Structure 1
Amino acid sequence: MMFIIIVISLGYLFVILGLVLEGFTYKARPHRASKPSVSNDFSFSIIINYRNEDHNLPALLLSISQLKFDFNRVEFLFINDDSSDSSLSILEKFITDNNDITVQLLERIPVSKSAKKDGITQALEIAKHEHIICTDADVNLPQRWLMAYEKHYQLLPDLHFIAGPVEMTHSNNLLSQLQHSEMVALQMTTIGGFSIRQPFMCNGANMSFTKTAFQEVNGYLGNDHISSGDDIFLLEKLAAEDVLKCSYLKSQDAVVKTFPKSSWKEMIHQRVRWSQKGKSTKSTLNKLVSFQVLMMNLLFILAPFLWFLNWLNNAQFFIVLIIKIVVDVIVIFTGNRFFSNTKWPIYLLPQLVIYPIVVISIALKSLSKPSWKDRQVEL
Structure 2
Amino acid sequence: MELWYLIVGLLLATFYSGLIWLYRFWFNRLKPFEPGNLSLQPPVFFSVIVPARNESEVIEACLQSILQQQYPSASYEVIVVDDFSTDDTADKVLNLAASYPQIQLLSLQNFYKDGSQLAYKKKAIELAISKSQGSWIVTTDADCIVPPLWLHHFNAMIAKENPVFIAAPVMFTNNGKFSGIFQLLDFLSLQGITAAAVSAGSHTMCNGANLAYSKQAFEKVGRFSGIDHLASGDDMLLMYKMKRAFGHRLSYLFSSQSVVLTAPMPNWKQFLHQRIRWASKASYYKDKGMLLVLWLVYLFNATLLGGLIASLFYPELFYNVLLLTGIKTFAELSFMLPVAHFFWMQKYLLYFPLMQPFHIVYTVVAGWLGKFGSYQWKSRRVQ
TM-score between the two structures when normalised by the length of structure 2: 0.89
Q: Of the candidates 16, 20, 26, which is equivalent to residue 16 of structure 1?
A: 20
Structure 1 residue 317: Cα displacement:
5.2
- Structure 2 CA distance for aligned equivalents of residues 96 and 212 of structure 1: 30
Tell me what 1:68 maps to: 70
- Structure 2 CA distance for aligned equivalents of residues 306 and 83 of structure 1: 47
2:338 equivalent to 1:334: yes
The number of residues matched between the two structures is 368
Q: Aligned letter for 2:80?
A: F
Alignment check: 8 A CA contact 2:49 2:128 kept:
yes
- Structure 1 CA distance for aligned equivalents of residues 156 and 134 of structure 2: 17
2:123 equivalent to 1:121: no
- Structure 2 CA distance for aligned equivalents of residues 136 and 305 of structure 1: 39
Structure 1 residue 19: Cα displacement:
2.6
Tell me what 2:160 maps to: 155
Question: Which secondary structure state, in structure 2, belongs to the residue aligned with residue 104 of structure 1?
Answer: strand
The 5 Å alignment of 1:249-268 reads 249-268=253-272
Instruction: Tell which deviates more after alignment, 192-201 or 70-79.
Output: 192-201
Any unmatched runs of 5+ in structure 1?
31-36
Q: Of the candidates 139, 147, 161, which is equivalent to residue 142 of structure 1?
A: 147
Alignment check: 8 A CA contact 1:28 1:248 kept:
no
Q: Of the candidates 283, 289, 308, which is equivalent to residue 287 of structure 2?
A: 283
- Structure 2 CA distance for aligned equivalents of residues 313 and 112 of structure 1: 48
User: Percent of aligned positions with the same letter in both sequences?
Assistant: 26
Instruction: Tell which deviates more after alignment, 139-148 or 192-201.
Output: 192-201
- Structure 1 CA distance for aligned equivalents of residues 130 and 45 of structure 2: 16
Q: Aligned letter for 1:266?
A: Q
Structure 1 residue 68: Cα displacement:
1.5
Q: Aligned letter for 1:104?
A: Q
- The alpha-carbon distance between structure 1 residues 302 and 282, as it changes in their structure 2 partners (threshold 3 A), is same
Question: Which secondary structure state, in structure 1, belongs to the residue aligned with residue 194 of structure 2?
Answer: helix
- Structure 2 CA distance for aligned equivalents of residues 313 and 342 of structure 1: 31
Alignment check: 8 A CA contact 1:41 1:150 kept:
yes
Question: Which secondary structure state, in structure 2, belongs to the residue aligned with residue 136 of structure 1?
Answer: coil
RMSD value, Cα: 2.4
Instruction: Tell which deviates more after alignment, 224-233 or 113-122.
Output: 113-122
1:142-185 deviation line (CA, Å, top 9, x unaligned): 111111211222221x2000001000001443211111111111
Structure 1 residue 8: Cα displacement:
1.5
TM-score between the two structures when normalised by the length of structure 1: 0.89
Structure 1 residue 329: Cα displacement:
1.0
1:226-274 deviation line (CA, Å, top 9, x unaligned): 1110001110011112232101111111100110112111111111111
Structure 1 residue 3: Cα displacement:
4.6
Alignment check: 8 A CA contact 1:197 1:243 kept:
no
Alignment check: 8 A CA contact 1:303 1:320 kept:
no
Q: Of the candidates 82, 87, 90, which is equivalent to residue 88 of structure 1?
A: 90
- Structure 1 CA distance for aligned equivalents of residues 26 and 76 of structure 2: 33
- Structure 2 CA distance for aligned equivalents of residues 216 and 361 of structure 1: 37
Structure 1 residue 13: Cα displacement:
1.4
Q: Aligned letter for 1:93?
A: N
Q: Of the candidates 39, 46, 49, which is equivalent to residue 48 of structure 2?
A: 46
Structure 1 residue 305: Cα displacement:
6.0
Alignment check: 8 A CA contact 2:52 2:81 kept:
yes
Tell me what 1:27 maps to: 31
Q: Aligned letter for 1:128?
A: Q
Tell me what 1:214 maps to: 218
Structure 1 residue 318: Cα displacement:
6.3
Structure 1 residue 351: Cα displacement:
1.2
- Structure 2 CA distance for aligned equivalents of residues 161 and 172 of structure 1: 35
Structure 1 residue 69: Cα displacement:
1.2
Alignment check: 8 A CA contact 1:170 1:260 kept:
yes
Question: Which secondary structure state, in structure 2, belongs to the residue aligned with residue 76 of structure 1?
Answer: strand
2:372 equivalent to 1:370: no
- The alpha-carbon distance between structure 1 residues 266 and 89, as it changes in their structure 2 partners (threshold 3 A), is same
- Structure 2 CA distance for aligned equivalents of residues 345 and 126 of structure 1: 44
- Structure 2 CA distance for aligned equivalents of residues 179 and 339 of structure 1: 15
Structure 1 residue 310: Cα displacement:
7.4
Structure 1 residue 78: Cα displacement:
1.0
Structure 1 residue 354: Cα displacement:
2.3
Structure 1 residue 41: Cα displacement:
2.5
- Structure 2 CA distance for aligned equivalents of residues 29 and 140 of structure 1: 21
- Structure 1 CA distance for aligned equivalents of residues 103 and 292 of structure 2: 42
Any unmatched runs of 5+ in structure 2?
none
Tell me what 2:106 maps to: 106
- Structure 2 CA distance for aligned equivalents of residues 141 and 347 of structure 1: 27
- Structure 2 CA distance for aligned equivalents of residues 113 and 306 of structure 1: 40
Question: Which secondary structure state, in structure 2, belongs to the residue aligned with residue 132 of structure 1?
Answer: strand
- The alpha-carbon distance between structure 1 residues 317 and 245, as it changes in their structure 2 partners (threshold 3 A), is same
- Structure 2 CA distance for aligned equivalents of residues 29 and 146 of structure 1: 14
2:179 equivalent to 1:168: no
Structure 1 residue 21: Cα displacement:
3.1
Q: Aligned letter for 2:54?
A: N
